[in-house]
């Protein structure tokens, strides 16, 4: 399977693959969830998935799933809000597959040049499209159609048109493929940890199908990010697909969701697994908090890891990507309100926090079936782009400093990044007064301090174990103000 190139389908060879420089420096990507689930576009406003998972447990989370892209699964759980919504809106016997036909009609008019313009306006450097989600619908006319439902794919090559548009605006292309779930091959309703594992297709037919489609996506579109989700078919060789990818796409980066799950074959093994998972569910309230996190199964190889709706407190040695929606869902959820989405301040500060700890932010956004993005989303994305237009030097191509977090004397959080020339202190909020003290850092003789977006140097002095900086009289409103201290070698943790 492997295309000719330097990588072989072995762990030793794949582990020599380095994170591409473009990806390490990109810092901001956008992930677009779009498919038949966009037609109903509905999920409960149940809040942050990690908080729900931790407090209430997996069974509660699946029944009250805030992810609208899981609509097909959630409407099959008795008593779920999504099931009630579906029955009341469309009728109890209305089939989910009908949304595929409606989506194909609506998406035929989508304007991808407008998408790419929005992405660039937001300051994103790459964009990831869901080529196939867990409902099995394909956003491209594949040569390897589903054998049970060949028409369940887009007649328009949405992946191609997306690809051409984002590349024309200078963005890198990413493609998402759900290798771990496909409702057309395994109809198990996911309602708890046991069914979450049992729903992963195990057949050789599915393995051959998924491998053929991933190969097609790699060879036809050559995405710079290959973003698999949930798992990879157990009867396929994950090393082969990754070697093919790296040999085909010179600047490619692959995520970490490639675990291969082998379910017990015998009755005793299946019963033992069920007993363990049921025990976990019963003991959930008393399990350590670190265990009650929604985590993805680890893969043997990846270029970066993808924690979902998580924040980190320390700089990570491993490149990572913070994955979350702009609201509580990745797919469009028309039930969401302004308060369910990240505010502009929260969005800017989240990006700064993630970047300071060696991460990229992959922000989920979602259009209507016809491709129009809701104003609640576009307004926030434009404001994020405005902030990056002024302060992008502290974000793009930056690296973590010796520490990620700090504070000012008046308690404002600070995040640090650095380049070869400077250290950046990203002050989250509005300083009070014209004297700002950065606690616990110092600068050497001759260092220059400036404010991004303003010309000229600022006066500064050492003040005990802090750096005291005189700010301009009137700072414009901003989610975060960025101080540039150069040269970088002059900035160090203060020793008091």
Domain spans of the chain? 11-393, 399-493
Which pLDDT score, from 0 to 100, does residue 1 have? 62
For residues 223 and 253, what is the distance between their CA atoms, to the nearest angstrom? 9
Q: What is the mean pLDDT of residues 315-330?
A: 98
Q: Does residue 247 have a pLDDT over 70?
A: yes
Phi-psi region of 170 (alpha: psi -120 to 50; beta: other; left: phi over 0): left
DSSP-derived pairing of the beta strands 126-132 and 28-32: parallel
Contacts 24+ apart (CB under 8 A), 195-199: 196/58, 196/62, 197/261, 197/263, 197/273, 197/277, 198/263
Q: Does residue 3 have a pLDDT over 80?
A: no
Task: Give, to the nearest 10 degrees, the angle between helix 112-122 and helix 158-168.
Answer: 40
DSSP H or E stretch at residue 277: helix 267-283
Q: What is the mean pLDDT of residues 208-212?
A: 98
Query: Domain spanning 399-493: which CATH class is it, in words?
Result: mainly beta
Q: Does residue 459 have a pLDDT over 80?
A: yes
Q: Does residue 405 have a pLDDT over 90?
A: yes
Q: What is the mean pLDDT of residues 418-443?
A: 94
Q: Does residue 229 have a pLDDT over 90?
A: yes
pLDDT band, very low/low/confident/very high, at 56 (cuts 50, 70, 90) = very high
pLDDT band, very low/low/confident/very high, at 2 (cuts 50, 70, 90) = low
Q: Does domain 11-393 match CATH 3.20.20.80?
A: yes
Q: Is 222 exposed, middle or buried (0-12, 13-18, 19+ CB in 10 A)?
A: middle
For residues 178 and 351, what is the distance between their CA atoms, to the nearest angstrom? 26
pLDDT band, very low/low/confident/very high, at 495 (cuts 50, 70, 90) = low
Which pLDDT score, from 0 to 100, does residue 258 have? 97
Contact yes or no for 334/42 (Cβ under 8 A) = yes
Q: What is the mean pLDDT of residues 280-292?
A: 87
> Structure pTM?
0.97
Contacts of 375 (CB under 8 A, 6+ apart): none
For residues 482 and 103, what is the distance between their CA atoms, to the nearest angstrom? 44
Q: Does residue 272 have a pLDDT over 90?
A: no
């Amino acid at each position: 399977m492997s295309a000719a190139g330097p990588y072989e389908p072995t762990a030793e060879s794949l582990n020599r693959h380095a994170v591409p420089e473009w990806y390490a420096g990109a810092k901001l990507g956008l992930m677009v969830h779009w498919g038949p689930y966009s037609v109903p576009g509905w999920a409960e406003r149940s809040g942050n998935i990690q908080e729900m998972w931790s407090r209430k447990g997996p069974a509660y989370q699946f029944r009250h799933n805030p992810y609208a892209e899981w609509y097909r699964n959630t409407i099959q759980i008795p008593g779920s809000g999504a099931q009630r919504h579906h029955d009341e809106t469309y009728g109890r016997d209305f089939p989910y597959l009908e949304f595929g036909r409606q989506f194909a009609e609506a998406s035929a008019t989508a304007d991808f040049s407008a998408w790419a313009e929005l992405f660039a306006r937001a300051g994103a450097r790459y964009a990831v499209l869901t080529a196939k989600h867990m409902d099995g619908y394909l956003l491209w006319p594949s040569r390897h159609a589903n054998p049970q439902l060949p028409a369940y794919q887009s007649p328009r090559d949405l992946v191609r048109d997306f690809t051409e548009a984002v590349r024309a605006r200078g963005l890198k292309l990413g493609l998402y493929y759900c290798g771990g779930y496909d409702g057309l091959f395994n109809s198990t309703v996911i309602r708890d940890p046991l069914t979450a594992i049992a729903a992963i297709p195990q057949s050789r037919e599915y393995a051959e199908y998924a491998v053929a489609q991933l190969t097609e996506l790699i060879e036809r579109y050559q995405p710079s990010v290959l973003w698999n989700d949930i798992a990879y078919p157990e009867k396929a060789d994950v090393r082969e697909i990754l070697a093919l990818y790296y040999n085909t796409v010179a600047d490619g980066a692959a995520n970490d969701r490639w675990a291969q799950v082998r379910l017990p074959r015998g009755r005793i093994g299946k019963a033992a697994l069920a007993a363990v998972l049921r025990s976990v569910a019963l003991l959930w309230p008393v399990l350590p908090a670190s265990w009650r996190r929604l985590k993805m199964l680890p893969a043997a190889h990846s270029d970066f890891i993808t924690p979902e709706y998580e924040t980190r407190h320390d700089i990570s040695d491993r490149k990572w990507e913070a994955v979350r929606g702009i609201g509580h869902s990745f797919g469009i959820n028309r039930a969401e309100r302004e308060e369910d989405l990240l505010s502009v301040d929260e969005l800017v500060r989240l990006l700064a926090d993630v970047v300071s700890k060696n991460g990229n932010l992959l922000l989920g956004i979602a259009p209507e079936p016809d491709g129009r993005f809701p104003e609640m989303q576009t307004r926030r994305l434009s404001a994020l782009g405005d902030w990056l237009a002024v302060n992008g030097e502290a974000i793009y191509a930056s690296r973590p400093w010796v520490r990620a977090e700090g504070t000012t004397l008046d308690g404002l959080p600070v995040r640090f990044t650095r380049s070869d020339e400077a250290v950046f202190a990203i002050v989250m909020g509005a300083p009070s007064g014209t004297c700002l003290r950065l606690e616990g850092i110092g600068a050497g003789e001759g260092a220059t301090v400036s404010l991004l977006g303003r010309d000229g140097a600022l006066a500064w002095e050492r003040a005990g174990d802090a750096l005291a900086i005189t700010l301009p009289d009137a700072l414009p409103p901003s989610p975060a103000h960025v101080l540039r201290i150069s040269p970088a070698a002059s900035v160090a943790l203060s020793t008091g």
